[in-house]
Structure formats: C-alpha cells, structure tokens
C-alpha cells in the first residue's frame, strides 16, 4: 500500500459526459502528479501540482483540468468525454516537486461508452 | 524534445536466468532524471529507481542493478536470478530538471517462466 488513495476505482460513463477523479496523496507529500495510461498512447504525464500550484504540464487536453486543494488532495476533471479517453488514470505523490521517489495510487479505470 | 526508447517489447526467460532490459533516451538537457517503474499484472505502478544525470555510478539493490552510461544515452536494468514474481511490464522514464514532466518509454513486458 503506497498510501496514495484514488477514487473511484472504476468509472463507466457515456460520451459527452463529465467526470471527476479524486486523489489523496501520502501524508506529508506536497506534490501530486496525474498520469494517463491507455493502449493507444501508453503512459503519459498529464500535470503536476505542488502545494496547490500548478508545477508542470504535460500532454493534457484542454477538455481536462485539475486542481490541488488546500488539504493537498487533487481532482482531475475530464469533460466532453470521448471514447479515446478510456484509460487508467494514475495519481502519484512525492514530498518535493523535483520528482523524488513517487508513490502511485491504484488508479481509476475510466470506460467511456 | 525528449524521447525514451525501450526496444524490447517482450522478453521471456526461465526462472533463475539473468535478464537485461534496455533503455535509450534522448534529451537536450544537461541535467535530467531517469527512472524505472514496474507494473505487475495487478496493475499498480511501483517506483524502482531514480538517477540524476550527474551520477553515473551503477546501482545495485538486491537482485536489481542499473547501468547508466551517458556516453551511449542508456540506462539499462538487469535482474539477476529472475523469479516468477518479476513478471511485469517495466517502464523507463526521463524527466526534465526542476519539473515533474516525465516522458515514458513504451514498456517492456517481462515474463519469467518457472
């Protein structure tokens, strides 16, 4: 158990809908990262937050947004969902923003029908 | 642009064999970080190692060892005396300094047969 929690574990929704994925980092970790893993595009870094501020941005679509709240949990919002958004979404956390050892959550499997 | 290449898509070995997973990277940065992650069949991602570009010392952790060669832009991972529990997909990744942005390779699926 990495100490990172993600909810929900599974999510099935329809095209055009909007969903929110939630991540709670390990206790004491200030940095949160979001990744997408799909069959088509492999593992991709989406975005990183550190202590509430956006730190780095990767291949995140404009339909996606994220934020980190004062209690350090983070949410990834996916809107206008398309079939291609079906993927496993991982959250990870670390203490520093410079990618010290990252601890990954179990992931949220999103299926868009 | 950064790029990570794991040329071996799949590797199959018999238990107790040694196996090396190759990773070749491209970056224009002089300071960067390299990582290896393991994704077992259960699906979770597990961090294995981080190496910065200034530290070319090889590292050994139990049956795992890593060989970083800046001259060939490679960061290879060797498992000695492989075990069935080593069966997983292994990802190599490259990160810019001072930022969390990582570029991943496509992964190598390792199957260790009893």
pLDDT of residue B70: 93
pLDDT of residue B58: 85
Kindly tell me if the per-residue pLDDT of B17 is higher than 60: yes
Closest residue in A to B49 (Cα) is A101
Considering Cα of B89, then B76, then B36, then B6, what sign does the dihedral take?
negative
A92 in Cβ contact with A103 (< 8 Å): yes
As given in the structure block, the two tokens for residue B33 are: 């970080």
Phi first, then psi, for residue B86 (nearest 5°) are -80, -10
Instruction: Quote the CA–CA distance of A5 and A9 in Å, as a whole number.
Output: 10
At A75 the three-state DSSP class reads: strand
Cis peptide before A106 (omega within 30 of 0): no
From A17's Cα to the closest Cα of chain B, the distance in A is 26
pLDDT of residue B96: 78
pLDDT of residue B100: 63
- Quote the strand ranges of chain A, DSSP E: 5-7, 10-13, 19-24, 31-38, 42-50, 53-57, 64-68, 74-78, 87-94, 103-104, 108-112
Q: What is the mean pLDDT of chain A?
A: 93
Which residues in chain B are closer than 8 Å to A107, comparing Cβ atoms? 43-45
Contact (CB<8Å) B102/A99: yes
From A52's Cα to the closest Cα of chain B, the distance in A is 14
The shortest CB-CB distance from B91 to any of A43, A88, A92 is to A43
Closest by alpha carbon to B83, among B38, B17, B12, B10?
A: B17
User: What pLDDT digit, counting tens, does each position of A58-78 carry?
Assistant: 889 999 999 999 999 999 999
Q: What percent of chain B has pLDDT over 90?
A: 71
At A40 the three-state DSSP class reads: coil
Instruction: Quote the CA–CA distance of B107 and B114 in Å, as a whole number.
Output: 22
User: What pLDDT digit, counting tens, does each position of B43-72 carry?
Assistant: 999 989 988 888 888 888 899 999 999 999
Q: What 3 state SS string does B7-74 have?
A: CCCEEEEECCCCEEECCEEECCCCCEEEEEEEECCCCCCEEEEEEECCCCCCEEECCEEEEEEHHHCE
Q: Does B91 touch chain A (CB under 8 A)?
A: yes
pLDDT-based confidence at residue B99 (cuts at 50, 70, 90)? low
Q: What is the mean pLDDT of chain B?
A: 92
The shortest CB-CB distance from B47 to any of A35, A50, A101 is to A101
Kindly tell me if the per-residue pLDDT of A100 is higher than 80: no
User: What pLDDT digit, counting tens, does each position of A19-53 carry?
Assistant: 999 999 999 999 999 999 998 889 999 999 999 99
pLDDT of residue B97: 62
As given in the structure block, the two tokens for residue A58 are: 């990767």
Contact (CB<8Å) B104/A42: yes
Between strands B64-69 and B59-61, the pairing is antiparallel
> Who contacts A15 (Cβ-Cβ below 8 Å, separation ≥6)?
A81, A82, A83, A112, A113
Over residues A92-96, mean pLDDT: 89
From B15's Cα to the closest Cα of chain A, the distance in A is 27
As given in the structure block, the two tokens for residue A38 are: 């799909």
Q: Does B101 touch chain A (CB under 8 A)?
A: yes
From B99's Cα to the closest Cα of chain A, the distance in A is 6
């Amino acid at each position: 158990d990495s100490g990172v929690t993600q909810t929900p574990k599974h999510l099935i929704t329809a095209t055009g809908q909007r969903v929110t994925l939630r991540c709670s980092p390990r206790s004491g970790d200030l940095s949160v990262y979001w990744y997408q893993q799909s069959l088509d595009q492999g593992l991709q870094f989406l975005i990183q937050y550190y202590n509430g501020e956006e730190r780095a941005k990767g291949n995140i679509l404009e339909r996606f947004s994220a934020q980190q709240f004062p209690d350090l949990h983070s949410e990834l919002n996916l809107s206008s969902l398309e079939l291609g958004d079906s993927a496993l979404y991982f959250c990870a956390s670390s203490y520093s923003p410079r990618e010290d050892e990252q601890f990954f959550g179990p992931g949220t499997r999103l299926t868009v029908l | 642009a950064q790029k990570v290449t794991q040329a071996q898509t799949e590797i199959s070995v018999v238990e107790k064999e040694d196996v090396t997973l190759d990773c070749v990277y491209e970056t224009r940065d002089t300071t960067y970080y390299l990582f290896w992650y393991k994704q077992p069949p259960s699906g979770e991602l597990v961090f294995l190692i981080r190496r910065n570009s200034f530290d070319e010392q090889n590292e050994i952790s139990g049956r795992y060892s890593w060989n970083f060669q800046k001259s060939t832009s490679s960061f290879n991972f060797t498992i000695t005396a492989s075990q069935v529990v080593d069966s997983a997909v292994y990802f190599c990744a490259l990160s810019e300094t001072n930022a969390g942005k990582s570029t991943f390779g496509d992964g190598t699926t390792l199957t260790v047969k009893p």
